[in-house]
Amino acid sequence: MSSQSPHNEHTPLLTTVIITQPRPSSRFHSAGTSATLRRFCTLCLAFTLVVVLILFLVPAHYFPGVTSPSSSAPSYHSSFSSRGLGYEELKQILLRTPDEGKVREWSEYYTSGPHLAGRNKSQAEWTREKWEGWGVPSVLEEYEVWINYPVSHRLALVKTDGQNDGEGEERQGKGVEVIYEASLEEDVLPEDPTTGLDDRVMTFHGYGASGNVTARYVYANFGTFWDFEDLVNAGVELRGNIALVKYGRGFRGLKVRRAEQLGMVGVVIYTDPQEDGEILEQNGYETYPDGPARNPSSVQRGSVQYIICGDPTTPGYASKPGVERIDPNGTVPNIPSLPISYRDALPILKALNGHGPKASEFNKYWQGGKLDYKGVEYSIGPSPAGLELDLMVEHEYVITPQWDVIGIINGTLQDEVVILGNHRDAWIAGGAGDPNSGSAALNEVIRSFGEALKLGWKPLRTIVFASWDGEEYGLIGSTEWVEEYMPWLKETAVAYLNVDVGTRGPSFEAAASPLLNKALYEATSAVQSPNQTVEGQTVRDLWDGRVRTMGSGSDFTAFQDFAGIPSVDLGFASDSKSAVYHYHSNYDSFAWMDRFGDSDWHYHVTITKVWALFAAALVETPVIQLNVTDYAIGLQHYLQSVKYNASVSTLMDQSVGEESFPILDEAVLSLYDAALAFDAKAESLAKAVQEGLPWWQRWWSGAQMYRSVKAVNDAYKYFERQFLFAKGLDSRPLFKHVVFAPGIWTGYSGATFPGLIESIDNGDMENVKRWTAIIKEKIDQATALIS
Ligand SMILES: *[C@@H]1O[C@H](CO)[C@@H](O)[C@H](O)[C@H]1NC(C)=O
Ligand SMILES: *[C@@H]1O[C@H](CO)[C@@H](O)[C@H](O)[C@H]1NC(C)=O
Ligand SMILES: *[C@@H]1O[C@H](CO)[C@@H](O)[C@H](O)[C@H]1NC(C)=O
Ligand SMILES: *[C@@H]1O[C@H](CO)[C@@H](O)[C@H](O)[C@H]1NC(C)=O
Ligand SMILES: *[C@@H]1O[C@H](CO)[C@@H](O)[C@H](O)[C@H]1NC(C)=O
Ligand SMILES: *[C@@H]1O[C@H](CO)[C@@H](O)[C@H](O)[C@H]1NC(C)=O
Ligand SMILES: *[C@@H]1O[C@H](CO)[C@@H](O)[C@H](O)[C@H]1NC(C)=O
């Protein structure tokens, strides 16, 4: 904690306190004669009067520690915040404002027309106008980004004369018989109007390559790094062939990336009902729209970018008009890929029956495909000579504007900022789950804070609301914005609170920096669950309390991994018994949400309340509700996991581990000790603030208390930033955080201590030592900050 000069004023608030103070002491020394005594007495009387006047007439919030005669609310708190409203009153407003009818209305608006990244400015403007209408000044922030839109596509299973050399080359004048022409279309359903829009979005892959290849093909399970390793080890011919893989178990771009590295010429990704839990046709469930099981024609669109963060032509800086762009080669695929439905995949899978080894002969990760009841044997292939796939994809690549909507409520403390964000763009006209359940919730969060503003409330800290564009292609809108405002964010940001899919089922999930665990538990404990078996159960009561580690896959990534801002990602997910969620498909629609996903719209309202209360907890209390002990405990767990992985790795020189890990153990232990003491100090300070000071200590001690709070808050605010390493990770220099990163071969799920794990996985012992030193330095820096 740094000590500051008593005249170091941080806010207009403190200035007011000092200016209104009378200065009696200088007069005191001039006393001596009776005239001066009389003058002294008069002065004393005057002074007392002034004090009494100040105490009773000037509003209580100017005085740290003074309980206002007209208010029973804790007083020091009100000095920090809430002209007009106390924290408890604010919470009541945030709990009673969100409304089922309203979220339904916002959802219906967003999901009524296509809103692919960069293609729907009117939704951005509509959003901005709504926010302004609720009293939150808002602007559009425009970026010019490099992305693709689909032009045409084709996939066919063909019989050739068998002379194709397997390098995917064009057959000149060879006879071709089409065995199956894939529809590449999702069925138009009368029950679901947006599935039949004329301008509905074609099935395609964001950042996919254009190409036209004809080649034999191989079934490669989920197409994970390890699945491809298994095929290589089994001697299955991959080079020159097309991979047919399932969605699931990792980010789709990494499936294409590995196939490209192995010399494959194209990738077809289909959705196997394997990931649909118990809600399967073969278990007696009807398919959507007649029932909750997957519609067989549903297709998962999605990005196949390799680096998953921002415009690939402007890494590390904002895509403003006229900026220099780099060649994106290496960050996006060079081989064509297409997403298809399981109905389109069936004939292609069945044509492999009897060719090559069977998946069932492989390890446990290869088991469990659910199309056996349709006659699929899950043979691996390759397909025999003469049985090939024609894969043609044409994309148009453009540099085009995108629009983030940014709204701001200025707080009393403008150098402490909490940011709430959700993306608005979707792959389809719908997007009722992803992302517009979150967009509907964000609108209700803002409308709720707007209600408080109408009552004269002003937050203690500044709140920023963001509706991002371009998330789906690669977290573009949020990443470009973080890149543009990096210096300001590093100076001021306290936390980033993300909601992407607000709800698609009943099961609450959260991933967070451990700094935010405390506020997360508080917010979820304050909101009633929509699904109570015992009356009064909160969201916290029905949640297992497991906070997942930060990976990637949504807009928190640049905040957490580039800028070192503690982030959380919240939402209600499906469980194995809920209606199948049609991710990135035309059936993630308003009609589906209204019938199956959240038919009474209670979960939309619930996530709204959790999000708003989370923000309030971070914005309104004088001592910021972060907890560094939880962070130290988190580091201990992550380190255990690294040690375990190192101990089972055949590439690890165990003597290097014996040297390195105790160094880190010790550093984390010191951090833990410092953190315990720091959080305890913060807690007692918060209590003192809450209880207020006796009247004779009110002025100068109040200012002193304010400075102590400021110092504690600064340490909390800058704590996560200590873990940034300027050069970044070895293979991904944009990613600066030494504790959290997306897994290099999983993408969505988080890797902890990525520098160490990747060095262990590469068997690079010098690098294990190097990363041990880097991480130790960062932990020590964090310890020093709070000591
Ligand atoms: C933009 O979204 C609105 C509301 O969902 C929709 O009505 C409109 O058709 C969309 N515009 C375009 C150009 O797709
Ligand atoms: C793709 O290749 C096939 C076979 O080589 C050819 O017949 C077809 O015209 C090509 N399509 C396009 C759009 O180039
Ligand atoms: C792109 O990079 C790959 C290696 O990642 C290389 O083989 C290829 O030639 C490059 N293509 C272009 C057009 O630079
Ligand atoms: C919020 O504060 C900033 C910085 O002091 C100022 O530029 C901006 O005009 C303020 N916005 C509103 C709506 O008061
Ligand atoms: C209610 O919660 C239970 C688990 O506690 C879950 O199985 C069920 O699907 C939920 N029902 C609804 C309607 O959310
Ligand atoms: C350790 O390995 C397991 C299993 O492969 C993996 O799930 C986990 O994420 C790894 N731990 C770390 C810290 O990478
Ligand atoms: C911080 O977290 C630790 C560990 O969860 C807990 O014991 C402690 O009470 C927390 N302190 C505060 C002030 O929340």
For the segment 411-416, the average pLDDT, to the nearest whole number, is 94
Residue 525 in any domain: the answer is no
Which residue is catalytic, options 388, 471, 472, 720? 471
pLDDT(419) > 60? yes
Domain that holds residue 267: 147-397
CA distance linking residue 88 with residue 446, whole number of Å: 18
CA 330 / ligand 3 centre spacing (Å): 7
Phi, psi of 339 (to 5 degrees): -90, 140
Cα of 544 vs centre of ligand 3, distance in Å, is 47
Task: Determine the pLDDT at residue 4.
Answer: 31
Q: Is 629 in the pocket of ligand 7 (CB under 6 A)?
A: yes
720 DSSP 8-state letter: G
Please choose from 503, 529, 531, 606 the residue to mutate so as to test ligand 5's pocket, defined by most ligand atoms within 8 A of CB.
Answer: 531
Residue 743 Cα to ligand 6 middle (Å): 9
Residue 577 CA: nearest ligand 5 atom is: 9
Tell me if 263 CB under 6 Å of ligand 3.
no
Closest ligand (CA of 505) = 5
Long-range contacts at 150-153 (CB < 8 A, ≥ 24 apart): 150/201, 150/202, 150/203, 150/204, 150/394, 150/395, 150/396, 151/394, 151/395, 151/396, 152/392, 152/393, 152/394, 153/184, 153/202, 153/203, 153/204, 153/338, 153/392, 153/393, 153/394
627 lines ligand 7 (CB under 6 A): yes
Per-residue pLDDT tens over the stretch 344-368: 999 999 999 999 999 999 999 999 9
> What type of residue is 47?
F
| pLDDT tens by residue, 557-610 | 999 999 999 999 999 999 989 999 999 999 999 999 999 999 999 999 999 999
At 80, the pLDDT band (50, 70, 90 cuts) reads low
**What pLDDT does residue 39 have?**
65
Integer Cα distance of 736 and 560 in angstroms: 9
pLDDT at 6: 31
507 belongs to a structural domain:
no
| Residue owning the nearest CA to atom 13 of ligand 4 | 137
Tell me the per-residue pLDDT of 731-753, one tens digit each, with 9 for 90 and over. 899 999 999 998 877 766 678 99
Residue 61, pLDDT above cutoff 80: no
Q: How far is the CA of 189 from the centre of ligand 1 (A)?
A: 20
Whether residue 423 is contained in a domain is answered as no
**Domain annotation covers residue 372:** yes
Domain with residue 699: its CATH number is: 1.20.930.40
**pLDDT category of residue 515 using cuts at 50, 70 and 90:** very high
What's the pLDDT band for 41 if we cut at 50, 70, 90? low
pLDDT surpasses 90 at 218: yes
How many degrees, rounded to 5, is the angle at CA 419 between CA 417 and CA 424? 160
Asked if the model's pLDDT at residue 31 lies above 80, the reply is no
Instruction: Give the strands of the sheet with 217-219, arranged side by side.
Output: 217-219, 242-246, 266-270, 337-340
For range 459-464, the mean pLDDT: 96
Query: What confidence tens digit (pLDDT) does each residue in 698-709 have?
Result: 777 778 888 999
Confidence of residue 40 (pLDDT cuts 50, 70, 90): low
Residue of 334, 397, 731 with the most ligand 3 atoms within 8 Å of its CB, for mutation? 334
Query: Per residue in 516-569, pLDDT tens?
Result: 999 999 999 999 999 999 999 999 999 999 999 988 889 999 999 999 999 999
Q: How far is CA 191 from the centre of its chain?
A: 33
Ligand 6 atom closest to the CA of 749, numbered from 1 = 9
Residue 441 maps to a domain: no
Query: Is the confidence at residue 623, as pLDDT, over 90?
Result: yes
| CA 160 from centroid of its chain's CA atoms | 47
Q: Residue 69 pLDDT more than 90? A: no
CB 515 within 8 Å of CB 626:
yes
Omega before residue 12 within 30° of 0, cis:
no
Q: How far, in Å, from the CA of 334 to the mean position of ligand 3? A: 8
CA of 269 to the centre of ligand 3 (A): 23
- Rounded to the nearest integer, the mean pLDDT of the chain is 89
Please tell me the least confidently modeled range out of 47-51, 103-107, 342-346, 534-538.
47-51
Q: List the CATH number of the domain containing 254.
A: 3.50.30.30
Please tell me the distance from the alpha carbon of residue 433 to that of residue 266, in angstroms, as a whole number: 30
Write down the pLDDT at residue 45. Answer: 63
- The Å distance, Cα 615 to ligand 1 centre, comes to 30
Domain C-terminal end among 355, 371, 397: 397
Instruction: Report pLDDT for 52.
Output: 45
Is the CA virtual torsion 115, 121, 126, 129 positive or negative?
positive
| Ligand closest to the CA atom of residue 330 | 3
The pTM assigned to this predicted structure is: 0.89
Query: What confidence tens digit (pLDDT) does each residue in 299-352 have?
Result: 999 999 987 689 999 999 999 999 999 999 999 999 999 999 999 999 999 999
Q: Which ligand is the nearest neighbour of the Cα of 439?
A: 1
Residue with the smallest CA separation from ligand 2 atom 1 is 212
> Catalytic: 535?
no
- The answer to whether position 291 is within a domain reads yes
* Number of structural domains the chain divides into: 2
Query: What value does the mean pLDDT take over residues 270-282?
Result: 96
Residue 58 pLDDT exceeds 50: no
Name all residues whose Cβ lies below 6 A of ligand 6: 641-642, 645, 751-752, 757
Question: What DSSP string describes 328-367?
Answer: -BTTB-SSBEEEE-HHHHHHHHHTTTTSS-BGGGS-GGG-
Looking at the domain assignment, is residue 484 inside a domain? Answer: no
Model pLDDT, residue 693: 74
Per-residue confidence (pLDDT) for residue 34, from 0 to 100: 53
Q: Residue 483: which H helix or E strand, with range?
A: helix 476-484
Q: Name the residue at shortest CA distance from atom 5 of ligand 5.
A: 542
Task: Give the domain-ending residue among 381, 397, 413.
Answer: 397
Atom of ligand 7 nearest to the CA of 628: 1
Q: Is residue 710 part of a domain?
A: yes
Of 343, 367, 397, which marks where a domain is finished?
397
